[in-house]
Amino acid sequence: MVGAGPLAAALEAPKLEDVTNQTARSFRIFAEQTKSDLKALSACMRGPREKVPASRLGQIGVPVLVAVGSKDVIGGSGLALAELIPNAQFLEITGRDHMKAVGDAQFKQGVLSFLASRP
């Protein structure tokens, strides 16, 4: 198995109280609140990950919104990713980390604006 660090371990912990890493604990709470399959998420996180070559990203022919929290230390540079995808739009979600970005009002409004701007 490929290691996925504390996030996968948090999903595999018998109960939430066993998770001591704060970021991993937030991830576990989110997964439980959304009634996600903890075992399936853990399996995905532990599976092999291949970096998509920039040449393939450059071939994406559909509109893309790259949304990343300004405090995200997991996802990497969203701006750098957006620059590799033709016509991609970058949205920074101010003050949010990887786990809290999607629920933020900035994200929701950004997605709605992005979709509304599509022909």
Q: Give the bridge partners for 92, in sequence order.
A: 68
Half-sphere exposure of 100 (CA within 13 A, CB side): 13
Per-residue confidence band for 3, with pLDDT thresholds at 50, 70 and 90: low
Cβ atoms within 10 Å, residue 45: 20
Q: How many angstroms separate the CA atoms of 50 and 53, rounded?
A: 9
Cβ atoms within 10 Å, residue 25: 18
pLDDT at residue 11, as a whole number:
92
**Domain boundaries of the chain, sorted by first residue:** 5-46, 54-116
Task: Give pLDDT tens digits for 56-74.
Answer: 999 999 999 999 999 988 8
Task: Give pLDDT tens digits for 36-52.
Answer: 899 988 888 887 778 88
Task: Please give the model's pTM, rounded to 2 decimal places.
Answer: 0.64
The amino acid present at 80, given as its one-letter code, is: A
